[in-house]
Amino acid sequence: MLKTTARALGAAALALLPLATTIAPAQAAETLSLHDAIEALPQAAEVRDGYERTKFRHWIDEDKDGCNTRNEVLLDEATTPPTEGPRCKLSGGTWWSYYDDQIIDGPSGLDIDHMVPLAEAWDSGASQWTAARRQAYANDLGAERSLVAVTARTNRQKADQDPAEWMPPADDAQCTYLADWTATKLRWALTVDRAERDTLRDLATGCEDTVVEYEPV
């Protein structure tokens, strides 16, 4: 979810003055068929031991522009832009929640969903990460579907479940959701368990033309 607003460009320019460190180049973006992307996922048993949501610091204001991660997603995904007030207080605007094919007026009815929930990420490898990498994951604005604005109802129905346990209710959402889920796991080198992989394989049979694009971090 690369920001192209004047505010974000200005913040990026300031960050480069002076250039005091060498920034490592991003890894090359990958494009795979959904089938091949699912097969590329490493498989391992899930381990929940030690998980606490507070171990993923989220909704930070990384670029110090007054808007935290939640509001950055809302601004980026609005179908009708909201009004931005002091301290990035948002009002008005409309959004499309693709999980349930609903149009939402105003930001209060929306949650920002971590495509792969924080607990699922922990189970799938994030338990071994540094606190800084977990924070980066929880506030990932570098990929369009790591974070997605959806109705609060569907986000809370999903909770921390993987596709073996929950899928979006909208019929047209299935292939997009599978691609987004797989891309997020590949982007962050997260694993899948056997039931999850089997479900992904099974559901993907109806998504022959779906591709998965991701950039490893």
Residue 78's pLDDT is what?
98
* Residue 6: pLDDT over 50: no
Q: Which residue has the tokens 């179908």?
A: 79
Q: Which residue has the tokens 């505010």?
A: 7
Nearest-10 crossing angle of helices 174-187, 194-204: 140
Q: Between vectors from CA 39 to CA 155 and to CA 199, what angle results, nearest 5°? A: 45
Residue 204's pLDDT is what?
98
Amino acid letter, 152: A
Residue 132 is encoded by which pair of tokens? 């800084």
Residues 79-93: what's their mean pLDDT? 97
Residue 178 is encoded by which pair of tokens? 């599978």
Residue 10's pLDDT is what?
38
What is the CB neighbour count within 10 angstroms for residue 6?
8
Q: Looking at per-residue confidence, does 203 or 17 come out higher?
A: 203
Residues 21-26: what's their mean pLDDT? 40
Residues 6+ apart with CB under 8 A from 143: 1, 183, 184, 187, 214, 215
Q: Looking at per-residue confidence, does 187 or 8 come out higher?
A: 187
CA-to-CA distance for 67 and 87, rounded, in angstroms?
7
> What's 125's DSSP letter?
T
Cα first-last separation, the chain: 14
* Residue 16: pLDDT over 90: no
Contact between residue 69 and residue 147 where contact means Cβ atoms under 8 Å apart: yes
Indicate the pLDDT class of residue 26, thresholds 50, 70 and 90. Answer: low
The percentage of the chain sitting over the pLDDT mark of 70, rounded to a whole number, equals: 88
Contact between residue 126 and residue 134 where contact means Cβ atoms under 8 Å apart: yes
Q: Which of 115, 121, 141, 118 is nearest to 189 (CA)?
A: 121
CA-to-CA distance for 217 and 214, rounded, in angstroms?
9
What confidence tens digit (pLDDT) does each residue in 49-71 have? 999 999 999 999 999 999 999 99
Helix (H) or strand (E) holding 178: helix 174-187
Average pLDDT of the chain is: 90
